[in-house]
Structure 1
Amino acid sequence: MFKKILAFFIAATISASAFIAAPFVHAQAGGATKFQITAPATAVVGEAFDITVTALDKDGKKATGYLNSIMIWTDNIGDTYPMPGRLIPFTAEDAGEKKFSKGVIFKKAGKQKLYVQDGKEDIAGEVTITVEEGNGTTATSTGEIQILTPTVDSKITSSTLLVSGTARKNSKVSLDLNGKNVGTVVSDSEGLFTKEISNISQENNVLKASLIDANDSVIATSSEIRFSKINETSSVYGLSISPSNKVESSAGITLTIDAIKGLSEVTAMLDGTVLKATESSEGKYTIATTAPQKAGEYAIDVTAKTVTNQTTTKEKIATLTVTEKEKTEEKPTATPAFKNVKAETDEHKVTFTFSVENAPADLDAFKIFHNSGSVVTHSASKILKDGVYAWYIDSLTPGQYTFQIQGQNASGALIENLKSEPIMATIGALGCTVSNVGKISVKTDTSKSVLTWEAVTGANGYNVYKIDAEGKYNLVAHVKDPSYTLYLSQGAITYDNFGVKATCGDNTESQDFSGASKVQTGPGMVALVVIVSGFIAAMVLRRRDA
């Protein structure tokens, strides 16, 4: 019935128009005699599809000069088609052909017809489409429709927002913002949809999308997306410093800048240095750097640049406090040293005993060098007893030998800072060698000067020498204990130099004298210890040996 009424109305319009202005109407038709509707052979109830209307001439060619208006309709009330009940004009740019994207939705299954009619002349066209039932899904929020942008808890600075999402292909989608409908859109053949929403004024917003069937019933809803609108033009929101806003000088820090996503460049200014940030996650820009060396308060400025080169700078967005680094006292490393080295000889053998002060952790054994080779001891732990190491070398040819002991590690490498002084010994006769006497301490009171030194292991006594003006050593006493007392003479205050050698066996002396010490031998007030430097001692010894 609707078709008959519409046809009568159009026919009446055509007749009146032909009577009044037939030449003009024919010109506007551009030679068109019929319309061709290009549409899919099949469609689904509730899903939108594209159609194209083409004006054709009597030869079936496109009438590119067609400039009249058309009307489109179907047989069913409730179907969706372009501009229901209104004329749709063709323009010169259309060139006789007009496409309507996602323009038609049928609400019933079966063989359905789509009609097109010229608004002034008897030019028409139609097409039959097989419409199939959909899956009959009821209202759900299981993912059949989903909002892709904006994301949950995102921020916008503009009053407009481009919404995108996925749904059934070629289907109508309704958008609600804060409980109010803000428009509809039809998804494409891939199920994607986009629509711009404008006039967003609230700070906190809730967006929801609904999938609509041919009867305008909701068959699926998306999850609610909550987002906020920032009422400022700045694209930078804040800056955090980890591990803390207060660190020691030169400590490692990470700056995290909170800003809108997708900025082309974000930099921070710290202590006069520009630091470039990278977007580590959506809207998070990070910089790994070190704190300034000098203690103080440092304001940090941030500059952000968009892809359109719009720049925003936030001065003093955060402050870094730098403190002096706590100084830790380094304990001096104890130097290892051989102590109380003693060598005892007979016809073909020498036996060594010694101790090690501040033994290194990697000490594994000892290597003993001599005139004709070297010998490596067993493991250091195996030749140690009561704090004393003992080892011997046998089958030596009689004669004068110089020995030297050095530590080595498990890989056989020598330990450079653990090396004994040269040890002189005679093989082929009973004898012994002991370590040299260390430094001498002197204490003087009103009547005497007392010389003391550290006892040498293996020594059976000590020879005390006085050094004359020419540097000659003159034996003045042999003592059993590591001390010697001089009683002050009368007259003017005088000082003399003394040296000591340890003895072993049949009065065999240690190789070198102790460091020479200047001792008060004349009267006077209480004197403190005066130790002659190693340099002076060495010079005296050279003069003695010359």
Structure 2
Amino acid sequence: MKNRFLIGLVTLFVTIFSTFFAFNSVFAAELDHFVVELSPKKAKVGEAMDLTIKAVDKNGAPVTNYQGTVLIFSNTNPEASLPIVLKDSTYTFTESDQGVRKFENGVKFTKPGKQDINVFDFKDEKFTGKDEAEISDAAGAGKQEITFISPEEGLTIGEPKIKVSGSTVKNHKVKLIVNKTEKYDLTSNNNGVFEKDVENLKNGENVFQAQVFDADDKVIGETNELKIKVETNGLFVKSLKLIPEEVFVEAPYSIELIANTGLKEASVVINDTVITLKESGEGVYKGNSTAPKKAGTYKVDVNLVNDMGHKFNELGVTSLKVKELNSSLDKEKKEEPEPKEEPKKEAFTGKMSSASSERDPLKITGLKLVELKTKSILTWDKLQKAKSYNVYKKNAEGGLDFITTVQEPKFEVAIQGEQVKYEDFYVRANGEDEKGKYEGLLSDPTKIKTGPELLIILLVSLFFAGMYLIFKGKKA
């Protein structure tokens, strides 16, 4: 009875292994042909169409590891406009495509009738695909309607920018004309809608007009003029800088605002705190503050008041990013006493200590990640004042675990197996000056492919454990 149970256990593991490797074989499927799709199936001359290319196996399933090069062309309409990302009418699939690539508004036919798009594998022409669409003559349609959706005629706004939107025939070229001088080239989407954020409007009356074009760049529709009014009281925000844009909690930062010259009042609001700025140069206002106590992203609003008492308020001009990293390095590293001749290494908190506040921050820059089949390689810019670099990994509790110390700006992780996971890694430079040894600023996190999941290892362990019990049972 005992042996039957053990034999059944082994049979179960063999079945799991067979299913697992059969599952993997799906991803190793071979290319059989391409599925080519044009959308919509009916369009007018010059109307933009979506093109989707799928590399599939004999069962029609995507070949997710296909990274070949395909040739794309039209036999019936060689002058057809193809996706602009093509190089000499070819496209090379990437790993992120997973065997499927969609080119939105990528194809425009230049003549009516039944037109085709053909796809061939560049190295082996036996792998092909094709689709057709019915193209009608745009000229027969005559004038096309085009209208504005927003803004409303006669609207008065308090800032020199606005979103303009309209409706016309789908997938057509549209030209938006502002004040008869500024022109923007747009394309209506699959619903016939076009839109544009227009800035730098003049104070007073502004005029908008839109035109729609056919494939030959001929105007086939035009709106009436739409007029709105801008009243800003002459107040404006040219730019706003936070230095740095990302800080630790309660860390100091500076503010620089460029606006009108000679303002009576200039201030910013961050987390319900008003920070008054002083004019340090012509139209340049500066101030200093400290970050909030909680990590997060905080919007920055601007308030301006001139000598006439006119007020200007702009919300969300920029954002301040506040971060807080709590370390959970292993206790032995924290509690281990340092030699007397060397200063004690500070516990990691994500912030520089007061003792090192005036030191070189040793900021890590130029982080780059290369993923190969067998390993992931993280590199960064070499710091002249760095003696070495500490590498940390984020743990399940959200803290950081110390991994290793490297002498060169490079860290490698070996990869084995098929199933992999990604983990956050951080880098911190080690420096030394007349005050002793210290660590610099913590780098931004980098997700690194660290290795296979434990599924295969677990199954192998259980398999051999089962075999051991069987043989032991037989001997008994």
TM-score bucket of the superposed structures, by smaller chain: 0.3 to 0.5
Q: Which has the larger radius of gyration?
A: 1
Kindly indicate which of the two structures has a greater share of residues assigned to helix: 2
Identify which of structures 1 and 2 has the higher relative contact order when contacts are C-alpha pairs closer than 8 Å and 6+ apart.
2
TM-score of the aligned structures, taking structure 1 as reference length: 0.34
What is the TM-score normalised by the length of structure 2? 0.38
